[in-house]
Structure 1
Amino acid sequence: MTTLAPAIAARLKRNDAGLIAAVAQEKSTGDVLMVAWMDDEALARTLATRKATYYSRSRRAYWVKGETSGHTQHVHEVRLDCDGDTVLLVVDQEGAACHTGTHTCFDTDILLASD
């Protein structure tokens, strides 16, 4: 078990399940790739290894992005938002970020586009 630094843990505002949102953004393009969930352990693992590690609510287990698919995320930066309830991971994405096989989870359904 990896322990999150107490100073960081104290700043987090977790939901009722003990989780915070994690947004992955591609460093080279600025594309928002995906949104997942982290708890203290997932965040601590990510900070320690620079491998994006998330918590799966459905499987109730940790998963390292790309561990089985090869579509890895190397983490360059982790930023905590002003409210302490979301982290931004700035990553190098190898392969598809979305489980559907697309580059980003946000490239399929555009609800409103710029003029």
Structure 2
Amino acid sequence: MATKFNCPIRYALDIIGGRWKIIILWNINKYKIIRYGEIKKRIPEISHKVLSQQLKELESDGIVYRNEYYEIPPKVEYSLTDKGHSLIPIVEIINEWGQKNMSC
């Protein structure tokens, strides 16, 4: 059963909130079509369990498209849906803010 929201900010944060979703989106957008192992390689700090869970949630929310090829070995590719692409300007603004305000 889908959660009902009465606040657009709560809805948006439910979709992209958390430690990894924006980073996952950033990587999928950068490579357009990317395999699971490549995402894991680009985000080595994330566990397989969490990456898998986050991708399933993004797919369920209509942000990420999962294309599974039935071959040996199995091959799965991820790309952004139109709804996912609509988040990229927001992700870019977050990236710019981080670059301006991050102290190294």
TM-score of the two chains, using structure 2 as the length reference:
0.28
Greater fraction helix: 2
With normalisation by structure 1, the TM-score equals 0.27
